[in-house]
Amino acid sequence: METKSVKGSGGIKFLELRQGACSVKIYSGEQTKPGKVYQAHYLAFLEAGKRQRQSFGSIETAKAQAHIDPDPFGQR
């Protein structure tokens, strides 16, 4: 799996994980909850034609969840 840091439109930085034609993006930012600020990492991907987002507390956990199946339809 190839990993690279990318600066997208609007200056937003994200980490792109790519395997073949499939890719997922991990965005990092801060999430504020009553009285506290937390570092958050968001895994963004398409599933069934809809954008999905999952949030994680550590970048390592987000990378582990970013598993990409190179043959999602089982046509091997």
Task: Determine the 3-state secondary structure of 51 from DSSP.
Answer: strand
First CA to last CA across the chain, in angstroms? 19
- Whether residue 43 contacts residue 26, with contact meaning beta carbons closer than 8 Å, is answered with yes
Task: Determine the 3-state secondary structure of 24 from DSSP.
Answer: strand
Q: At 46, is the pLDDT very low, low, confident or very high (cuts 50, 70, 90)?
A: confident
Domain ranges of the chain: 2-65
Q: What is the pLDDT of residue 75?
A: 46
pTM of this structure: 0.69
